């Protein structure tokens, strides 16, 4: 724990707290900005409809100033960044000639309520889970996200607290701090006995990150002091803790990541693409066992607008680690990320999953959006590359998404999936309110 508190002090001294939320909802119509690529000089900029969000935050996201020469595409990108914040039901612009080659802009907002509860539960791989919490993505009207969440997976509980603030020092910097502590069940498959073993792992981690926006991508770094240990509970009394490589791990995980983010990825209902590549190294305090543990991860999210009110999506994630103990092997996703896949199928040196979805807009009004979804998930058993190809577990199902446009990220979600192959538990379900997709 001493190493965690040391890094807390150093980070607060050097950087302070900060980061931003990235997500979106159904956006309002734009008028005039997208119709021309010709240049014009910006005259006066007015904002209408702001009640909670501060104008200085809006200007930081818009990145357009009076007297600047821009194109319609520049204005469109600035307005899209405002929609990406997910603070507004609609963002519209009125453009008025002001003489001397200048054009006045009036940006009209319809704000959302951003203090949102989290409540969801479900079952996957024979394990029940529940998550409850509360967070705000526009605290103090400055785009600050702060939240508190309690999670319980297979009767093992934990707490997650986070703080993310954009425009740290300058608008191109985003930083974040996240503290997580609690217990987790580690689902391990014993090949000799052909059964699953579930030791408990208690972990405490502090994630401190900084992200800089560049013209084509975002570059981020993070430091994560952490401590993990196995607790004295095993479902198989014949196994010893030495079978899991080690019972305690403490160190600092350093990570570098690149994010390629399409500016129009404001809502999964429409269209957008996002790719994240990360590499990390865990500097372990126990150098006699394994002093350095590396991990590489590639994650992609792609949605295409097929027709009016219909889009198709593809998510993929592949992850590798050279960790030599159960504690070091990185867990892929969560129970509701790969619906129907057994948790025991997702721990190993090489893990991957693919999710394909097709969504239809069933109903849209000023305040409500309803989607119907069909999906299919597939993933491997986390074997080493020498054992490739590996058995693939797959599932398919259907779901509903009910969104309330005046409330940021608030979606009621219901999913049901059945196994197609490779699963010992053939059914999975997810139900609740959550701020994910």
CA distances to 327, 359, 377, 419 from 129, rounded to whole Å, are 21, 26, 19, 19
* Other beta carbons within 10 Å of 79: 23
Q: Residue 349 phi/psi, 5° resolution? A: -70, -35
Cis peptide bond prior to 131, omega within 30° of 0: no
Q: Tell me, what's the pLDDT at 36? A: 52
Q: Buried (b) or exposed (e) across 216-244, using 16+ Cβ within 10 A? A: ebbebebbbbbbbebeeebeeeebeeebb
Domain assignments of the chain as residue spans, ordered by start? 2-21+113-434, 33-111
Q: Tell me, what's the pLDDT at 136? A: 93
Which residue is it, tokens 């590798």? 320
Q: Tell me, what's the pLDDT at 347? A: 47
CATH number of 2-21+113-434: 2.40.160.50
H-helix or E-strand spanning residue 9: helix 2-14
pTM of the model: 0.75
CATH number of 33-111: 3.10.20.310
Q: Tell me, what's the pLDDT at 27? A: 36
Q: Tell me, what's the pLDDT at 261? A: 73
Closest CA to 233 of 290, 155, 158, 181: 155
Positions in the chain whose pLDDT score sits under 70: 1-37, 125-126, 187-191, 193-198, 233-244, 262-270, 286-289, 326, 328-349, 380-391, 422-425, 434-437
Query: Rounded to whole angstroms, how far apart are CA atoms 393 and 383?
Result: 13
Q: Tell me, what's the pLDDT at 18? A: 31
Closest CA to 96 of 153, 45, 171: 45
Output the DSSP codes for 319-382. EEE---STTTSPPPS-TTTSTT--GGGS-SSEEEEEEEEEEEEEEE-SSEEEEEEEEEEEEE--
- What value does the CA radius of gyration of the chain take, rounded to a whole number of Å? 23
Q: Tell me, what's the pLDDT at 21? A: 28
């Amino acid at each position: 724990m001493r190493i965690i508190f040391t890094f807390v002090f150093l980070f607060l001294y050097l950087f302070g707290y900060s980061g931003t939320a990235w997500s979106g909802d159904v956006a309002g119509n734009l008028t005039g900005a997208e119709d021309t690529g010709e240049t014009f000089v910006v005259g006066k900029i007015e904002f209408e409809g702001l009640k909670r969000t501060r104008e200085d935050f809006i200007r930081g996201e818009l990145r357009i100033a009076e007297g600047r020469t821009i194109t319609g595409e520049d204005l469109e990108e600035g307005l899209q960044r405002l929609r990406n914040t997910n603070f507004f039901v609609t963002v519209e612009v009125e453009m008025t000639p002001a003489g001397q080659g200048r054009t006045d802009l009036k940006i009209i907002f319809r704000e959302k309520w951003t203090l949102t509860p989290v409540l969801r539960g479900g079952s996957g791989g024979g394990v029940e889970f529940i998550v409850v919490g509360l967070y705000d993505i526009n605290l103090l009207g400055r785009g600050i996200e702060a939240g508190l969440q309690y999670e319980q997976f297979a009767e093992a509980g934990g707490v997650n607290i986070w703080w993310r603030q954009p425009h740290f020092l300058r608008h191109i910097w985003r930083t974040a701090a996240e503290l997580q502590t609690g217990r987790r069940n580690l689902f391990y498959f014993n090949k000799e006995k052909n059964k699953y073993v579930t030791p408990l792992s208690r972990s405490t981690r502090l994630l401190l990150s900084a992200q800089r926006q560049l013209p084509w991508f975002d570059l981020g770094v993070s430091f994560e002091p952490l401590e993990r240990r196995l607790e004295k509970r095993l479902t198989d009394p014949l196994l010893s803790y030495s079978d899991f490589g080690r019972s305690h791990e403490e160190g600092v995980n350093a990570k570098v990541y690149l994010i390629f983010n399409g500016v129009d990825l404001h809502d999964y209902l429409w269209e957008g693409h996002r790719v994240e590549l990360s590499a990390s190294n865990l500097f372990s305090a126990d150098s006699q066992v394994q002093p350095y543990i590396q991990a590489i991860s590639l994650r992609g999210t792609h949605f295409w607008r097929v027709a009016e009110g219909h889009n198709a999506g593809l998510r993929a994630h592949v992850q590798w680690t050279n960790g030599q103990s159960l504690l070091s092997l990185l867990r892929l996703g969560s129970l509701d990320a790969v619906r129907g896949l057994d948790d025991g199928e997702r721990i190993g040196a090489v893990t991957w999953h693919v999710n394909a979805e097709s969504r239809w807009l069933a109903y849209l009004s000023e305040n409500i959006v309803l989607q119907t979804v069909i999906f299919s998930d597939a993933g491997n058993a986390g074997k080493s590359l020498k054992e490739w190809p590996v058995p693939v577990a797959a599932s398919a199902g259907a779901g509903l998404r009910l969104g309330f446009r005046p409330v940021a990220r608030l979606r009621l979600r219901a999913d049901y999936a059945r196994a197609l192959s490779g699963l010992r538990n053939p059914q999975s379900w997810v139900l609740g309110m959550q701020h994910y997709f």
